[in-house]
Amino acid sequence: MAAYEAGARRFDAAIVGLGGCPFAPGASGNICTEDLVNLCDEVGIHTGIDLPLLLRLSRRLPALLGHEMPGQLVKAGRNSDLHPVPESITAS
Q: What is the CA radius of gyration of the chain?
A: 15
Of 21, 27, 65, 76, which residue is the catalytic one? 21
Rounded to 10°, the helix 33-43/51-65 angle is: 160
- pLDDT, mean over the chain: 84
Instruction: Give the per-residue pLDDT at 30.
Output: 80
pTM for this one? 0.75
Exposed / middle / buried, residue 11 (Cβ in 10 Å: 0-12, 13-18, 19+): middle
**Which pLDDT value is given to residue 16?**
87
Q: Give CA separation, 9 vs 14, 42, 81, in Å.
A: 16, 16, 27
| Over residues 18-27, mean pLDDT | 73
Q: Is 21 a known active-site residue?
A: yes
pLDDT-derived band at 90, boundaries 50, 70, 90:
low
pLDDT band, residue 62 (cuts 50/70/90): confident
- Quote the pLDDT of residue 51: 93
Contact by Cβ (8 Å): 74, 59: yes
- The length of the chain in residues reads 92
Over residues 36-55, mean pLDDT: 93
